[in-house]
């Protein structure tokens, strides 16, 4: 087999909706597509860096440039060893860790001639994914609900003083199941309890990250009381975070861009099962590369929020299908993506 080679390109992806309160950074995102080839097959990965985790596109491309030789020396088949090396080399960029891990898994599965979900002993059938309604101003809620008409489960972002108005407008137009992400927005236990109690009567399925990640002791006070499951997102970053969330949360949201890829995501699955935590898989705004990689292990989850690729207008890749929230995996080898 030939020596490995790595290449990458920055892609500017734009969201379907221009946010009216346009901070321009919210209508486009620069992701980095990474390709690792063995001379015959190519594996694809994607880094969608997030400022929340001190990551950036520039950081990703600089690391790729500076550590090219180290990347092409990583082992294709031994995921554990590879992940340990990736974490040591790229401790500053979680999204690049994810991109490399994905690209190597894609390449490995292609070398085996199998779809990756088969290699990872996951199933084709998986839960219905939610579709996220980003909240800008109240006038935009109706058009966004129209855009989402085929999706049976919606995820909405609350956690601002406008919560009641937003829910009011949504419930004027739809009684669909809603998943609420407060994104650390409620600052006291009292406020969180008031909001959760109020939402529990409105066909809401669960609450994601009700309070700031720093306030874990406060969040723990909601655990036994809460009428709705509470799911960790900002508190559930890496595998080592999972044991400490038992008794604090009811579930964890795994994202490839936070945890460093599929290898660590699988570790988080095992840890969550051990600690009796429910499993959710989420994403950033991502192309079909990262979403197709995540969907490979979608069958291990109770809840899916893998809508990144359907939120964007110019996906450079074709991969996993999304029909009214039902994700359709291909039977092609690897993660099943190709350029559009
Ligand atoms: Mg979240």
Higher local confidence (pLDDT), 235 or 137: 235
CA of 71 to the centre of ligand 1 (A): 31
Across residues 234-256, what is the average pLDDT?
97
**Could you tell me if 146 and 291 lie in one domain?**
yes
Model confidence at 305, in pLDDT bands (50, 70, 90)? very high
CA of 76 to the centre of ligand 1 (A): 32
Buried b (16+ CB within 10 A) or exposed e, 288-322: bbbbbbbbbbbbbbebbbbbbbbbbeebbbbbbbb
Ranges 19-23, 49-53, 117-121, 228-232: which has the least confidence: 19-23
The proportion of the chain whose per-residue pLDDT surpasses 90, expressed as a percent, equals 90
Please tell me whether the overall predicted TM-score, pTM, comes out greater than 0.85 for this model.
yes
- In the predicted model, is pLDDT for residue 21 greater than 60? no
The count of other CB atoms within 10 Å of the CB of residue 70 is: 15
Dihedral sign of CA atoms 80, 274, 155, 310 in order? positive
**Could you tell me if 167 and 248 lie in one domain?**
yes
Task: Please tell me the distance from the alpha carbon of residue 232 to that of residue 210, in angstroms, as a whole number.
Answer: 8
3-state secondary structure of 57: helix
Q: Which of 113, 142, 158 is the last residue of a domain?
A: 113
CA of 186 to the centre of ligand 1 (A): 13
Task: Please tell me the distance from the alpha carbon of residue 70 to that of residue 290, in angstroms, as a whole number.
Answer: 22
Pair of tokens at residue 114: 């199998």
- In the predicted model, is pLDDT for residue 25 greater than 70? no
The count of other CB atoms within 10 Å of the CB of residue 247 is: 12
Domain, as residue range, for 24: 5-113
Ranges 40-44, 49-53, 161-165, 180-184: which has the least confidence: 49-53
Residue carrying structure tokens 């969608």: 48
Q: Which residues surround ligand 1, an ion (CB under 5 A)?
A: 181, 208, 233
Q: What is the CATH number of the domain that holds 58?
A: 3.30.390.10
Pair of tokens at residue 211: 């309070």
CA of 86 to the centre of ligand 1 (A): 25
Ranges 21-30, 50-59, 149-158: which has the least confidence: 21-30
Residue 281 bridge partners (DSSP): 254, 304
pLDDT of res. 183: 92
Across residues 31-59, what is the average pLDDT?
95
- In the predicted model, is pLDDT for residue 118 greater than 60? yes
Q: Which of 113, 135, 152 is the last residue of a domain?
A: 113
Across residues 279-299, what is the average pLDDT?
97
**Could you tell me if 62 and 143 lie in one domain?**
no
CA of 256 to the centre of ligand 1 (A): 13
pLDDT of res. 20: 37
**Could you tell me if 15 and 144 lie in one domain?**
no
Ranges 127-136, 226-235, 269-278: which has the least confidence: 127-136
**Could you tell me if 124 and 250 lie in one domain?**
yes
pLDDT of res. 172: 96
Q: Considering only the C-alpha atoms of the chain, give the largest distance between any 2 of them, rounded to a whole number of Å.
A: 61
- In the predicted model, is pLDDT for residue 289 greater than 70? yes
**Could you tell me if 64 and 17 lie in one domain?**
yes
**Could you tell me if 90 and 208 lie in one domain?**
no
CA of 209 to the centre of ligand 1 (A): 7
- In the predicted model, is pLDDT for residue 274 greater than 90? yes
CA of 89 to the centre of ligand 1 (A): 27
Q: Which residues contact 129 (CB under 8 A, 6 or more apart)?
A: 153, 298, 304, 305, 306, 307, 322, 325, 326, 327
Model confidence at 22, in pLDDT bands (50, 70, 90)? very low
Pair of tokens at residue 199: 């939402």
Q: Which of 113, 138, 167 is the last residue of a domain?
A: 113
3-state secondary structure of 190: helix
- In the predicted model, is pLDDT for residue 88 greater than 70? yes
pLDDT of res. 80: 96
**Could you tell me if 133 and 273 lie in one domain?**
yes
Closest CA to 14 of 217, 314, 291: 314
Higher local confidence (pLDDT), 1 or 310: 310
**Could you tell me if 95 and 209 lie in one domain?**
no
Number of domains in the chain: 2
Model confidence at 24, in pLDDT bands (50, 70, 90)? very low
**Could you tell me if 88 and 156 lie in one domain?**
no
Q: What is the CATH number of the domain that holds 302?
A: 3.20.20.120
Q: What is the pLDDT of residues 60-81, one digit of tens each?
A: 999 999 999 999 999 999 999 9
Q: What is the pLDDT of residues 160-181, one digit of tens each?
A: 888 999 999 999 999 999 999 9
**Could you tell me if 285 and 166 lie in one domain?**
yes
**Could you tell me if 194 and 297 lie in one domain?**
yes
- In the predicted model, is pLDDT for residue 146 greater than 80? yes
CA of 236 to the centre of ligand 1 (A): 10
């Amino acid at each position: 087999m030939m020596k490995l080679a790595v290449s990458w390109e920055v892609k500017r992806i734009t969201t379907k909706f221009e946010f009216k309160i346009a901070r321009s950074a919210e209508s486009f995102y620069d992701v980095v597509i990474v390709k690792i080839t063995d001379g015959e097959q190519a594996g694809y990965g994607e880094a969608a860096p997030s400022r929340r985790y001190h990551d950036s596109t520039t950081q990703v491309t600089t690391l790729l440039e500076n550590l090219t030789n180290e990347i092409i020396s990583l082992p294709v088949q031994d995921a554990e060893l590879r992940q340990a090396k990736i974490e040591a080399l790229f401790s500053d960029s979680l999204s690049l860790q994810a991109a490399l891990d994905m690209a190597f898994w894609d390449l490995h599965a292609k070398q085996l001639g199998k779809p990756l979900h088969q290699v990872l002993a996951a199933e084709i059938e998986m839960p219905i994914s939610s579709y996220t309604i980003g909240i800008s101003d109240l006038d935009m809620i109706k058009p966004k609900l129209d855009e989402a008409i085929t999706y049976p489960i919606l995820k909405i972002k609350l956690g601002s003083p406008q919560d009641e108005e937003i829910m009011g407008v949504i419930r004027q137009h739809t009684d669909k199941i809603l998943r609420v992400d407060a994104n650390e927005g409620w600052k006291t236990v009292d406020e969180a309890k008031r909001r959760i109690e109020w939402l529990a009567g409105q066909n809401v399925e669960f609450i994601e990250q009700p309070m700031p990640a720093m306030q874990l002791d406060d969040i723990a006070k909601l655990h036994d009381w809460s009428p709705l499951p509470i799911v960790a997102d900002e508190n559930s970053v890496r595998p080592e975070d999972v044991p400490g969330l038992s008794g604090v949360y009811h579930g964890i949201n795994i994202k490839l861009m936070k945890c460093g890829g599929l290898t660590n995501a699988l570790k988080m699955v095992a840890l969550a099962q051990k600690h009796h935590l429910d499993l959710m898989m989420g994403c950033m705004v991502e192309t079909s590369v990262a979403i197709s990689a995540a969907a490979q292990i979608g069958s291990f989850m109770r809840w899916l929020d893998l809508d990144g690729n359907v939120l964007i207008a110019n996906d450079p890749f074709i991969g996993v299908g999304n029909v009214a929230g039902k994700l359709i995996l291909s039977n092609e080898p690897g993660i099943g993506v190709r350029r559009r």
